[in-house]
């Protein structure tokens, strides 16, 4: 049976549509963890922060691991301590993955946190900047990007210089560069 010209056009269009659809599905299945464009259902958008080269928001495949999230953020920095994390743990959509610095202690999971003692100081309230002039070590550690070692260095520098007149003076503290200062600036005051 011979097809009429209009039927031939319909067959060609149907075949072309099928090929395009197969190519689209195939391209979606070939994506690697860390790919952002056109993520299929089952993706996870995570916030990677702390001691990584490029902190930020990343969209990963739904079966991605913490190690994949760190790689998507450019890898861990030289002062990172990823050994505190379970690198094989699957990422969950909406999670924040904080890569600690060497010497920084991650808080215990909820329900396993010890009671705070009076000597630990108070945590900074959300939106309330921590004073560099009077902050205790615990208060400084409540600021994103400041772990125990950095807090000790800030307190030592404050004692040596008589205090901080501006947040920018933190650049004189070992381990604090422009990138880290930008991360902490909104949480601090002189």
Question: 18-58, pLDDT tens digit by residue?
Answer: 444 444 444 444 444 444 433 445 788 889 999 999 999 99
Residues in CB range of 65: below 8 A, 6 or more apart? 33, 87, 88, 89, 90, 91
Contact (Cβ atoms closer than 8 angstroms) between residue 185 and residue 150? no
Contacts of 21 (CB under 8 A, 6+ apart): none
How would you classify the pairing of strands 130-131 and 188-189? parallel
Phi and psi (nearest 5°) for 134? -130, -5
Instruction: Please give the Cα distance from 82 to 86 (Å, whole number).
Output: 8
Q: Which of 50-59, 65-74, 123-132, 155-164 has the lowest mean pLDDT?
A: 123-132
Let me know: does 148 contact 137? Beta carbons within 8 Å: yes
- Asked which of 32-41, 140-149, 163-172 is least confident by mean pLDDT, the reply is 32-41
Mean pLDDT of the region 101-111: 65
Assess contact for 190 and 165: CB atoms under 8 A: yes
What is the structure's pLDDT at 2?
61
Residue 76 has pLDDT above 90, yes or no: yes
Q: Could you give the angle at the alpha carbon of 150 between the alpha carbons of 175 and 92, nearest 5°?
A: 95
How high is the pLDDT of residue 74?
A: 95
Is the predicted pLDDT of residue 121 greater than 50, yes or no?
no
Summarize pLDDT for 1-10 with one digit per residue, the tens: 565 555 554 5
- Residue ranges of domains in the chain: 43-99, 122-189
Closest to 142 measured CA to CA, from 158, 130, 156, 159: 130
Whether 112 has a pLDDT exceeding 50, the answer reads no
User: Domain 122-189: which CATH class?
Assistant: mainly alpha
Residues near 161 by beta carbon (within 8 Å), at least 6 away in sequence: 169
Between 189 and 113, the more confident residue is 189
Number of helices (H) and strands (E), helices first, in the chain? 5, 5
* Average of per-residue pLDDT across 108-115: 42
Provide the token pair at 183. Answer: 């991360």
Query: Of all residues in the chain, what percent carry a pLDDT higher than 70?
Result: 67
pTM for this entry:
0.40
């Amino acid at each position: 049976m011979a097809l009429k010209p209009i039927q031939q056009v319909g067959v060609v269009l149907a075949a072309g549509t099928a090929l395009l659809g197969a190519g689209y599905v195939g391209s979606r299945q070939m994506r690697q963890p860390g790919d952002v464009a056109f993520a299929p259902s089952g993706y996870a958008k995570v916030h990677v922060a702390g001691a990584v080269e490029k902190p930020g928001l990343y969209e990963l495949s739904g079966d991605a691991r913490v190690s994949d999230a760190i790689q998507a953020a450019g890898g861990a920095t030289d002062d990172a301590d990823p050994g505190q994390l379970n690198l094989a743990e699957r990422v969950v959509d909406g999670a924040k993955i904080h890569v600690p610095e060497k010497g920084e202690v991650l808080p215990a999971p909820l329900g396993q946190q010890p009671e705070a003692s009076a000597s630990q100081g108070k945590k900074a309230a959300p939106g309330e900047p921590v004073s560099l002039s009077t902050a205790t070590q615990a208060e400084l550690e409540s600021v994103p990007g400041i772990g125990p070692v950095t807090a000790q260095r800030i307190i030592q520098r404050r004692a040596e210089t008589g205090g901080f007149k501006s947040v920018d003076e933190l650049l004189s503290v070992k381990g604090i560069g422009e990138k880290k200062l930008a991360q902490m600036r909104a949480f601090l005051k002189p």
